[in-house]
């Protein structure tokens, strides 16, 4: 895509109908905010000069979106046309400007390219995009003459009964020649039912000034679903889920129940992996081949290699190497770096720790800030005491060590190779290689004590 395409994304509105303290464009469809969905599709299409118009709770919106875009500020939300006016300096006088709404999260990069090609091929001054809506209520209606040529867009509130019966609606996506748009914005009025400056009126104005204006009918209405309420948000989520899950299935991933499997847009899964019901895969998660994931598992931005099983567990920014099993009911927190053929069992939490190949942490154990070697066995109920209330310290456990049940390891501390800690020990001094460490009181048996009692 040529570089003289600028993008403006409208995101200043509050979204009153969302009934939320969170600004509309920050609501998420699956794991991504609506604003980021739109921005990512533009970037994927090669349109990377983006200006987002913010207004309502602008600091929060800017913080969430970050510095990969430019911003314009709309102090008062006086309409979509007024919003674009605030980006006047960004528009400039040359090239084309693509305008999208921040509340239309399902648009794809392919469609953005298609619209751009249509606009260029037809040498338009303005190109709108429409679709046929099953339920057109709330959308602007596309009014055409008897030959099918575009005449104008009429908003719901301003439409006559005849106009309301039109099912071809405005998607809210447009491409303008920069100079045509600037001129049209200068003449924009707000004499309509809402008292707002409608961006939609610029199409009519550009045509009146002699600019070629067309409205392209898009084939997939699902891409233009505008989210105005939580009901719409749910509808958008269902559409996106279907789109993503079908893509993975066609690429060889088995999804047992796509209706309750939530896979984010940026997740990568290799063929022959099975995703069981109730699973959420989020962020930059990557999963290899021959894995079994789920049921009821949440994985956030983690990397999982091949042949791994994860059952009923939560993984957050973790790494799990080949043929390891996790769960049921394990919690791998950020910095959990798990080797090959490891077993992480039930009620085990691992944070900021390396667990090397072949080690077993089977049950009821907390491992934090630790470096664990190969073939280490943890007995049930081991705790690394890594925090003294002020600072955190590391625990080192070398290859082939055997940690007895209910051991406390008070960091900083090292357990040597092949060393053994006796069950119930509290270890606060290093244990040499091959040693047995018993750190508990000796058992005392008092004969006949119970009988006397």
What are the residues binding Ca ion (CB under 5 A)? Answer: 103, 226, 228
**Whole-number minimum distance, CB 245 to ligand UD1, in Å?**
25
Residues in CB range of 145: below 8 A, 6 or more apart: 151
Sites for ligand UD1 among residues 399-428 (CB under 6 A): none
Stretch that binds ligand UD1, among 5-13, 231-239, 254-262, 320-328 (CB under 6 A): 5-13
Alpha-carbon gap, residue 200 to 148, rounded angstroms? 18
Alpha-carbon gap, residue 340 to 338, rounded angstroms? 7
Alpha-carbon gap, residue 36 to 43, rounded angstroms? 10
**Whole-number minimum distance, CB 104 to Ca ion, in Å?**
7
Nearer to Ca ion among residue 11 and residue 293 (C-beta)? 11
Sites for ligand UD1 among residues 52-81 (CB under 6 A): 53, 74, 77-80
Alpha-carbon gap, residue 39 to 163, rounded angstroms? 33
Cα-flanking dihedrals φ and ψ of residue 406, to 5°? 55, 45
Angle between helices 201-208 and 178-186 (to 10 degrees): 100
Tokens at 324, concatenated: 């390891």
Nearer to ligand UD1 among residue 72 and residue 314 (C-beta)? 72
Q: 107 to each of 104, 114, 225, 271, 284, how far by Cα in Å?
A: 7, 11, 9, 26, 20
**Can you tell me which of 139, 174, 366, 402 binds ligand UD1, judged by CB under 6 A?**
139
51 forms part of the interface with ligand UD1 (CB under 6 A): no
**Whole-number minimum distance, CB 232 to ligand UD1, in Å?**
10
Other beta carbons less than 10 A from residue 31's beta carbon = 19
**Whole-number minimum distance, CB 138 to Ca ion, in Å?**
7
Size of the site for ligand UD1 (CB under 6 A): 29
Nearer to ligand UD1 among residue 150 and residue 198 (C-beta)? 198
327 interacts with, out of ligand UD1, Ca ion, none, CB within 5 to 8 A per kind? none
Q: Which of 82, 119, 248, 363 is labelled catalytic?
A: 363
Identify the residue whose tokens are 């069950």: 423
Residue 397 near residue 370 (C-beta atoms within 8 A): yes
Task: Kindly provide the b/e burial profile for residues 320-357, where b requires at least 16 CB atoms within 10 angstroms of the residue's own CB.
Answer: bbbbbbbbebbbbbebbbbbbbbbbbbbbbbbbbbbbb
Sites for ligand UD1 among residues 158-177 (CB under 6 A): 169-172
- Measured at CB, which residue is nearest to ligand UD1? 140
**Where do runs of H (alpha helix) occur along 143-225?**
161-164, 178-186, 201-208
Q: Is 363 a catalytic residue?
A: yes
**Whole-number minimum distance, CB 241 to Ca ion, in Å?**
21
Sites for ligand UD1 among residues 277-316 (CB under 6 A): none
Cα-flanking dihedrals φ and ψ of residue 399, to 5°? -50, 140
- Strand pairing category for 32-33 and 28-29: antiparallel
198 forms part of the interface with ligand UD1 (CB under 6 A): yes
407 interacts with, out of ligand UD1, Ca ion, none, CB within 5 to 8 A per kind? none
152 forms part of the interface with ligand UD1 (CB under 6 A): no
Sites for ligand UD1 among residues 103-132 (CB under 6 A): 103-104
Tokens at 207, concatenated: 């045509």
101 forms part of the interface with ligand UD1 (CB under 6 A): yes
**Whole-number minimum distance, CB 17 to ligand UD1, in Å?**
8
**Can you tell me which of 106, 112, 199, 304 binds ligand UD1, judged by CB under 6 A?**
199
Residues known to be catalytic? 363
What residues line the site for ligand UD1 (CB under 6 A)?
10-13, 53, 74, 77-80, 82-83, 101-104, 139-140, 153, 155, 169-172, 198-200, 226, 228
């Amino acid at each position: 895509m040529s570089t003289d395409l600028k993008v403006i994304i409208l995101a200043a509105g509050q979204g009153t109908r969302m009934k939320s303290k969170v600004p509309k464009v920050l609501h998420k469809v699956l794991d991504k905010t609506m604003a980021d969905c739109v921005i990512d599709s533009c970037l994927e299409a090669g349109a990377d000069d983006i200006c987002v118009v913010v207004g309502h709770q602008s600091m929060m919106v800017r913080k969430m979106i970050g510095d990969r875009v430019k911003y314009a500020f709309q102090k008062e939300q006086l309409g979509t046309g007024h919003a674009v006016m605030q980006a006047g300096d960004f528009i400039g006088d040359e090239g084309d400007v693509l305008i999208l709404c921040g509340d239309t999260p399902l648009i794809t990069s392919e469609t953005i390219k298609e619209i751009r090609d249509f606009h260029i091929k037809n040498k338009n001054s303005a190109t709108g995009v429409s679709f046929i809506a099953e339920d057109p209520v709330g959308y602007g209606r596309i009014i055409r003459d008897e030959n099918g040529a575009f005449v104008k867009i009429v908003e719901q509130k301003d439409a006559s009964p005849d106009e309301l019966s039109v099912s071809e609606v405005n998607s809210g996506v447009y491409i303008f020649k920069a100079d045509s748009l600037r001129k049209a914005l200068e003449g924009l009025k707000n004499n309509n039912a809402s008292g707002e400056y409608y961006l939609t009126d610029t199409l009519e104005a550009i045509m009146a000034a002699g600019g070629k204006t067309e409205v392209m009918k898009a084939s997939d209405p699902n891409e233009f679903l505008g989210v105005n309420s939580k009901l719409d948000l749910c509808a958008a989520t269902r559409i996106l889920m279907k789109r993503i899950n079908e893509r993975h299935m066609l690429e060889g991933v088995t999804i047992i129940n796509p209706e309750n499997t939530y896979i984010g847009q940026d997740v990568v899964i290799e063929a022959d992996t099975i995703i069981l019901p109730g699973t959420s895969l989020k962020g930059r998660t990557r999963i290899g081949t021959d894995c079994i994931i789920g049921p009821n598992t949440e994985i956030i931005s983690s990397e999982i290699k091949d042949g791994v099983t994860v059952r009923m567990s939560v993984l957050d920014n973790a790494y799990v190497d080949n043929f390891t099993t996790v769960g049921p009911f394990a919690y791998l927190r950020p910095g959990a770096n798990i080797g090959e053929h490891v077993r992480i069992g039930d009620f085990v939490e691992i944070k900021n720790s390396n667990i090397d190949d072949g080690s077993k942490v089977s049950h009821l154990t907390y491992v934090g800030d630790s470096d664990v070697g190969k073939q280490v066995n943890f007995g049930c109920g081991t705790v690394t005491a890594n925090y003294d209330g002020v600072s955190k310290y590391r625990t080192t456990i070398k290859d082939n060590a055997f940690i007895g049940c209910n051991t406390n390891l008070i960091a900083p501390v090292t357990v040597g190779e092949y060393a053994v800690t006796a069950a119930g020990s509290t270890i606060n001094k290093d244990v040499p290689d091959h040693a047995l460490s018993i750190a508990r009181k000796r058992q005392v048996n008092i004969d006949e004590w119970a009988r006397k009692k």
